[in-house]
Structure 1
């Protein structure tokens, strides 16, 4: 039995994000397409002798003592009865609080790592049950990793899905790789709690969804996309840096641009790789960037 496992934890962006009023359980419902992009944290999970212990070292970002990894460890131990200790080393590349799901992705990669490391034999239902104890975005990453057929240990195949409910309803769709994604990280921090407070003030309870489905929009040429993120307008109105980044992405030739999740990362979608490369050169003088070629 191996004593350690190293895996990749991908970032995601949202294509369209419809938010519904707060439910009785405290969660908001959502309707979105989540798609992974080629930006990854790297996680190494190793066995240690101490029981009931989860030590987390993060390189590239300080984490609080209680974080998504420790929450996932606790939920895993409660469900399985396993009390063996682990050391987790994370190389952080996904920025925190950027709407890219970095903490949720790390948690999902960790859960599936300990499942393999300790041969717990958990299936997708049990993995999802653990995910629900950690965070809503963890559901998506749990399905994304489960679809890898073991490839996640050497590479990561892109994954896209329509996501609904609080995030637990995940329906895989055919991922597109005929465009490039330029991620722009404005020097702005947006708390998820504050973003939801802003969107709650602007929710139109009588609105109707698009006449065509999100999946149908996704399959159109990028220049014809009509995706809307309910967070974008209220959040960008409060944080000028986000609005500026969106304007500059469009001026640099992005076929589509929006904010991911509740922010603050914004992204441009480019049908032509050459245009994405030129935009990167133009914008990297002002912003921190990440270019994900081929989706």
Structure 2
């Protein structure tokens, strides 16, 4: 019996705009992705009959409804493989939080099964399978800490950086449906403001945190509606701790801020009061792979 342990990192969106809705129902976006070292742990065992997916979080989809189950069956359909797998997901990434946890779980599982069981699906085809599973999944298939994504998220360009950022990340005691948030964007209209992916990318490449903060943008902050009170509380909490700027990640509701060094991040982190239902994390850029070697 083979047993594999892999990891699935969360992501932040350092910039996120929605440009319009496509005929296929998806949306064209522009975003800057960053992997962070808040990770789920996935244990894949070759045992039993069929495929079982169990998650240790009550608020996460289980079994056939989980995106990992869908990923496994997509790879079986491609190869004709019929492995008997028991998959356990130990969640550390908050669910429905704008952090890409489910997509990352699916990507790490695809990569692990293809490699360990020698299914020999070429990288290009595996990437195509990932696109069909979920639009954030392709980014997590990349061996890159940072990337620009366009299209529905599948048109990716690696950003070559050997440095890392440090963040405080706060998940308020609510969850937001990505589908619901995109529906709000459709009703509210698409952005025409003075924000620039190019400027945000320039700041990131220079590792100029102040310039990056000035170019923070997430269109979903304009679509929070009644949920804005929860986000405003988090932003106020961070501001009272001396943070200049903070930003929603993905479709929310998680909020993060950025630091140039570990010491500054940890000092602010220590001073943030812990409240019931609120997750507070001190994280950094993830530079490892699915086997967990977070280099640097």
Do the structures match in fold with TM over 0.5? yes
Q: Which residue of 2 aligns with 1:183?
A: 169
CA distance in 2, matches of 1:133, 1:250: 40
Q: Which runs of 5+ in 2 are unaligned?
A: 287-296
In structure 1, C-alpha distance between the alignment counterparts of 2:178 and 2:139, rounded to whole Å: 18
Where do 1:113-128 residues align within 5 Å? 113-128=112-127
2:186 to 200, 216, 220: 200
Q: Give 3-state SS (helix, strand or coil) of 1:219's partner.
A: helix
In 2, distance between residues paired with 1:293 and 1:211?
22
1:81 aligned onto 2:73: no
Of 54-63 and 23-32, more deviation after overlay is shown by: 54-63
What TM-score do the two structures reach when normalised by structure 1? 0.87
Q: Cα deviation per residue 1:118-148 (whole Å; 9 max; x = unaligned)?
A: 20112221111211221100010011xxx2x
Structure 1: gaps of 5 or more residues: 148-157
Alpha-carbon contact 2:35-2:285 (below 8 Å) kept: no
Tell me the SS of whatever aligns to 1:224. Answer: helix
Aligned to 1:223: 210
- TM alignment of 1:1-295, pairs within 5 A: 3-50=2-49, 53-61=50-58, 62-65=60-63, 66-143=65-142, 147=143, 159-175=145-161, 177-204=163-190, 210=196, 212-220=198-206, 221-225=208-212, 226-235=215-224, 238-286=227-275, 287-293=278-284
User: Conserved in 2, the CA contact under 8 Å of 1:256 and 1:270?
Assistant: no
Superposition misfits of 4+ residues, deviation over 4 angstroms: 205-209
Give the distance between the partners of 1:161 and 1:212, measured in 2 at CA: 13
* TM-score (norm. length: structure 2): 0.87
Question: Which residue number corresponds to residue 290 of structure 2?
Answer: none
Q: Is the 8 A contact 1:57 1:88 kept in 2?
A: yes
| RMSD between superposed Cα atoms in Å | 2.1
| Deviation at residue 22 of structure 1 after TM alignment | 1.2
**Contact 2:75/2:110 (<8 A) preserved:** yes
CA distance in 1, matches of 2:21, 2:130: 20
Q: Which moved more, 1:209-218 or 1:193-202?
A: 209-218
- Pair 189,169 (structure 1): closer, same or farther in 2 beyond 3 Å: same
For residues 161-184 of structure 1, the C-alpha deviation after alignment (integer angstroms, 9 at most, x for no partner) is: 011111111111124645311110
Does the 8 A contact of 2:93 with 2:99 survive in 1? yes
Change (3 A) 1:240 1:27: same
SS at match of 1:20: strand
The structural deviation recorded for 1:209 is 5.9
